Chain A
Amino acid sequence: MDTELMLKVYPFFLQAAGLTIVLSVLTALLGLVCGALGAAARLSRFVILRFLGAAYVSVFRGTPALIQLFILYFGGPQIGIQLDAFQAGVIGLGVNAGAYMAETIRGAIIAVDRGQTEAARTLGLSRWQAMARVVLPQAARLMVRPLGVNLNMLIKATALVAAISVVELTYTAQRYIGSTYKPFEMFLLAGVLYMAIIYVTGRGVAWLDRRVRIH
């Protein structure tokens, strides 16, 4: 193993890891927004919204994220969507992650005991008040861990944008392999950095989960 080479190139990998983190954060934020909207649609009392929510979830979970990215980035211009690789990466991955998060959020909401809504409605709270004051605060606590799983998947899925030439961690590794012919070292370096990102994120999620847990 060429450790000397690894030490020489690792600052560039660190920089690329920075972009992976930026991608992950933006993707997670967009995913949360799409997920919240998707969950709200799936729980709506209007059948058309329920249908749209279900369609969103099944289309984006039912096709490879890579194909979704390719359609957006390579196919987009054909239907008038011009995005650079980074934008396409964030939007493609974010909308994809949102489909998974929608199911997580919906699952947490329906896991809150029905009796909670009943008690709130019995006091005279409206549907929305019962949701905002009673159900969501409890569901939010239930969704921390499963959203953490979504986040873990999403961070790893950012590697896909290497395929549309965003210079993040995986793409950087591939580029250095082109010049050094050392795939083992380069992918190992990328792998270690992914693991570090995921480890720190996982600790953060565990911390948050402990903090919000109901006494």
Chain B
Amino acid sequence: MAQNQPFVDIRHAQKSFGKVEVLKDISLTVERGQIVGIIGSSGSGKSTLLRAINDLDPLSGGEIWLDGVQVNKKLPHRQYEAHINALRQQVGMVFQHFNLFPHLSVRDNVTMAPMLLKNLSRAEANRLAEEQLDHVGMLERIEYYPSQLSGGQKQRVAIARALAMKPKLMLFDEATSALDPELVEEVNLVMKKLAEQHMTMIIVTHEMDFAASVCDRVLFMDKGVVVEEGPPQVIFKNPTQPRTREFLRKHIEGAS
């Protein structure tokens, strides 16, 4: 593998669901420590692209490389499963609807994967969970169950759960879209804190202000292609593509 290969390297990603082509020849690189935002209207393929990175939605064509390892390489089933499971441990993912495990306490939501996959003892896992929950300001809710938490609190626990695996890449798929407006900020603050710690992140978002303030680069996607990408000040202030301008005009009108 090339010495200077990007940390995340997506090459000619193509994805079809049946006859519908959802991703059309997308190439994208992310350097270590970079924060990349993806914006675009609903149905443009943002989630599919994000989910391809940890193989939740495997690509139909193209390659995805992560830290010098090809994610979607051809392997016999058993070997592929082992390869993917190992890889997913290094990639945290945060979903729009949190997907916390409702039958487990906050503590057990966070400790389950490290105990199962990294053979941590109960005591070690507890310490790890306390540390991660403290990081997202949820330590005092450690014995609660997910149903006893607000949306913002759930999402912060979901982030702690992902961070407990010590991932080297975090994927956020509209982490704040399902939240009441007054709960968005607490989650954004956690993400900003991660940004300050130089976590590599790919963030799908509808919040233009947030994208502008934390992202190093922003991609605008439409109908399965990346229409335009660049630093946030260019994308948001001086987009060159008519489709980008159209989207931003609508979006900012819609928001205000």
- Whether A124 sits at the interface, judged by CB under 8 Å, is yes
Q: How far is the CA of A214 from the CA of B144 in the complex (A)?
A: 12
Which of B89-97, B121-129, B202-210 interfaces with chain A?
A: B89-97
Chain A interface mostly: helix
Residues of B136-155 contacting chain A, CB below 8 A: 145, 147-148
Q: Is the CB of B101 within 8 A of A124?
A: no
What are the interface flags for A194-215 relative to B under an 8 Å C-beta threshold, 1 for contact and 0 otherwise? 0000000000000000000011
Q: A127-B81, A214-B145, A215-B145 are in contact. Are A122 and B116 (CB under 8 A)?
A: no
- Whether A141 sits at the interface, judged by CB under 8 Å, is yes
- Whether B88 sits at the interface, judged by CB under 8 Å, is yes
Residue of B nearest to A118 (CB): B56
Partner of B99, one of A118, A133, A215: A118
Partner of B103, one of A113, A121, A141: A141
What are the interface flags for B71-107 relative to A under an 8 Å C-beta threshold, 1 for contact and 0 otherwise? 0000000000100011011011101010111110000
Residue of A nearest to B109 (CB): A119
Chain A, interface size: which category?
Answer: 20 to 34
Q: How far is the CA of A126 from the CA of B101 in the complex (A)?
A: 16
Residues of B188-225 contacting chain A, CB below 8 A: none
Q: Is the CB of B95 within 8 A of A124?
A: no
Q: A118-B56, A119-B95 are in contact. Are A124 and B113 (CB under 8 A)?
A: yes
Q: Is the CB of B56 within 8 A of A121?
A: yes
Q: Is the CB of A118 within 8 A of B102?
A: no
Residue of B nearest to A212 (CB): B103
Q: Is the CB of A125 within 8 A of B102?
A: no
Most B CB atoms within 10 A — which of A116, A122, A134, A215?
A122
- Whether B54 sits at the interface, judged by CB under 8 Å, is yes
Q: A115-B95, A127-B81 are in contact. Are A122 and B56 (CB under 8 A)?
A: yes
Residues of A104-138 contacting chain B, CB below 8 A: 113, 115-116, 118-127, 129, 133-134, 137-138
New contact pairs (7) apart from A123-B165, A125-B116, A214-B145, CB-CB < 8 Å: A113-B99, A116-B101, A121-B56, A122-B92, A123-B117, A126-B81, A129-B116
Q: Residues on B close to A: CB < 8 A? A: 54, 56, 81, 85-86, 88-89, 91-93, 95, 97, 99-103, 112-113, 116-117, 145, 147-148, 158, 161-162, 165
A-B contact pairs, 9 of them (CB 8 A): A116-B101, A119-B158, A122-B93, A124-B89, A124-B165, A125-B116, A133-B112, A141-B103, A214-B145
